[in-house]
Amino acid sequence: MPKLPFHVEKRKITVGTHRIKIRIFRPLTETEDRKAPGVLWIHGGGYQSGSSRDVYVTRALSLVVRHGAVLVAPDYRLSRKAPYPAALHDCYGALLYLKEHAEELGVRDDQIMVGGESAGGGMAAALCMLAHDRGEVNIAFQMPIYPMLDDRDTESSRDNHAKNWNTKRNHKAWKRYLRSAWGTELVPSYAAPARRRDLRGLPPCYTYVGDIEPFYQETVDYVRRLQEAGVEAEVDVYPDWFHAYDIFFPAKKEVREAIARFEDHFSYAAEHYFAPQNPGKAAETEGPEREDVHGAD
């Protein structure tokens, strides 16, 4: 069996009153005198499917293999069994775990980053907001790739019939995630980050999206609003790409170029974006789950 070009380790961590699984990916060559950026990477699947194993077919592993990052991928509770805010609690617990174990994992605690595709991208954006508001962990950079941000229909998610993900599947996934709150004004921004009004103070952002997929409009709107709030943010838009096009066609020339752009932005972030942690700020990874995630911003 060929040797993998990275180390992978499975762990179980305590979040609130239960345990979740995480996968930790590290580069084969680690140096004791140089710590790496730590990336929490969240899988997609409409909040209802997928697992940390999805890292093997997404953009995340290149950050480990080619750029020396340490990556933590959580298996958060899925909405089929546990609707919002279960997944948010799990991913936030994994984020705090990454911060608290930075020294052991060989991670710079001033370069904790978050990213993910689709629902994982939406969760990454939500974590940036929750972390900003609680002040327990500071995030240096966010990479919400074609993120699932808005439970409401937009110009691109309304009457969308593109391949892989469309209006019908989007509505079904949001309804399963939000349950009785779906379609009302009771949805908090930690569940649907597009609903947040004030984006000031959030981490710098890079993302990309296709122009025929449902999440096109909410992605470009998120980046525009970040820029208007004074946050460094950039989006690349690729013509005729449906949702997760890069995962379906990784060998295509335009996809390889998009991947290179993504990695260039990560390299820039690793050199320029830092978010030192607040000394003495206690986190609560093993305490009771707090209910403030239901409140409006």
Query: Per-residue confidence at 287, pLDDT binned at 50, 70, 90?
Result: very low
Q: CATH number of the domain at 6-28+36-278, out of 2.40.160.40, 3.40.50.1820, 3.30.230.70, 3.40.50.2300?
A: 3.40.50.1820
Residue 291 scores a pLDDT above 50: no
The per-residue pLDDT for range 230-282, each reduced to its tens digit, is 999 999 999 999 999 999 999 999 999 999 999 999 999 999 999 999 986 55
Query: Per-residue confidence at 34, pLDDT binned at 50, 70, 90?
Result: confident
Residue 67 scores a pLDDT above 90: yes
Is 0.95 surpassed by the pTM of this model? no
- Position 4 scores a pLDDT of 76
Residue 159 scores a pLDDT above 60: yes
Mean pLDDT on 199-209: 98
User: What 3 state SS string does the chain have?
Assistant: CCCCCEEEEEEEEEECCEEEEEEEEEECCCECCECEEEEEEECCCCCCCCCHHHHHHCCHHHHHHCCCCEEEEEECCCCCCCCCCHHHHHHHHHHHHHHHCHHHHCEEEEEEEEEEECHHHHHHHHHHHHHHHHCCCCCCEEEEECCCCCCCCCCCCCCCCCCCCCHHHHHHHHHHHHHHHCCCCCCCCCCCHHHCCCCCCCCCEEEEEECCCCCHHHHHHHHHHHHHCCCCEEEEEECCCCCCHHHHCCCCHHHHHHHHHHHHHHHHHHHHCCCCCCCCCCCCCCCCCCCHHHCCC
